[in-house]
Amino acid sequence: MSTPSSPKREEPKKRAAEEPEGAPPAKKDAVDIVRSKAGGAYIPPAKLRMMQEQIADKNSEQFQRMNWELIKKKIHGPVNKVNVGNLVSIVRELNIIRAKGILARAIIQAQAFSPTFSHVYAALVAVINSKFPSIGQLLLTRLIVQFKRAFRFNNKIIAITVAKFIAHLVNQQVAHEIIALQILIVLLENPTADSIEVAVSFLKECGAKLTDVSPKGLTSVFDRLRTILSEADIDSRVQYMIEAIFHIRKDKFRAYPALIEDLDLIDEEDQVTHIVNLEESHDPENSLNVFKLDPDFEANEANYDEVRKQVIGSGGETSSEEERRARQRR
């Protein structure tokens, strides 16, 4: 009886096209690395700059994609660390012209994560808007689109967060007060518990400003709230919120000032106020968030840098020095 033969061990396949032993592994194309999505490996800014320096053709897609990634990193970092003390110096760090879509998105995201600092982000937008009004217009348009979507789908949390940002943009005179009144009319036209809560939250943030710039409009809003309080079928929680906002108004919104002194940075003659109609359709221009090849990249970069230096400055002054000069002019 023959014993079964043991299976032959397969010899490793010959690597005919293999590189010589000890040779360094082939490098991935830099463009492939940069094009990789969020699941890819993180590339530190220093490495991106080093990769850029190895590219001779500055107008190439490879170089421009790396530059785009660097710009995004240089925007998100400063925006996330902005505060009352460093606000003006942060503006000087930002690539405001080429990547305005990314900048607007970064500010909106930062405010959504930290709505208690809405007044700081609104002041940041006010400084940028005074120099580059198209960016203030873009950001306000995107916020209006977000608010309308949240209202349509009854997303109270997002509606409150976005409305809070819009309220502080009204306080900073980036947004005209008419948008605040339109938002309140929409919220109180067919009131629900959620829409009343959003309206009360919104009034807390910009009621002081509306008292100054549109007292008649504000009075009509409170007349509507008084009608809701007496006639509408509302629960005790909503009733308490309405009564609380009446007390806040009676106290002249003392606990909710429109501006704090440290964030009153823009002279009146430098302010640019945008009127955005809530009832109109708006294009958020999301294509501005996407990389586009620029055939005249080097020339445009030189022009952008010159404009930035002329409009914003070279960064020689600190934020406190800038603020002190602004107050001296007053």
User: Which backbone phi and psi does 235 adopt, to 5 degrees?
Assistant: -80, 175
Question: pLDDT value at position 231?
Answer: 85
Question: pLDDT value at position 176?
Answer: 96
Convert the pLDDT of each residue in 128-139 to its tens digit.
Answer: 999 999 999 999
DSSP 276: -
Contacts of 129-134 spanning 24+ positions with Cβ under 8 A: 129/174, 129/272, 130/266, 130/270, 130/271, 130/272, 131/96, 131/311, 131/312, 132/96, 132/97, 132/100, 132/311, 133/272, 133/274, 134/100
Convert the pLDDT of each residue in 14-46 to its tens digit.
Answer: 444 444 455 555 444 544 545 544 444 556 666
Question: pLDDT value at position 324?
Answer: 44
Residue 92 has pLDDT above 90, yes or no: no
Mapping DSSP to helix (H, G, I), strand (E, B) and coil, where does residue 85 land? Answer: coil
Confidence of residue 314 (pLDDT cuts 50, 70, 90): low
Highest-confidence range of 44-58, 138-152, 309-323, by mean pLDDT? 138-152
Taking residues 41-67, report their average pLDDT: 70
Residue 230 has pLDDT above 70, yes or no: yes
Share of the chain above pLDDT 90, in %: 54
DSSP 273: -
Alpha helices (H) in the chain, listed in sequence order: 30-35, 45-53, 61-80, 87-93, 100-113, 118-131, 133-152, 156-171, 177-189, 193-213, 215-231, 236-250, 297-311, 319-329
Look over the chain and give the mean of its residue pLDDT values, rounded to a whole number: 83
Which domains, from first to last, does the chain contain?
58-275+288-309 (1.25.40.180)
Give the integer Cα–Cα distance in Å for 330 and 261.
13
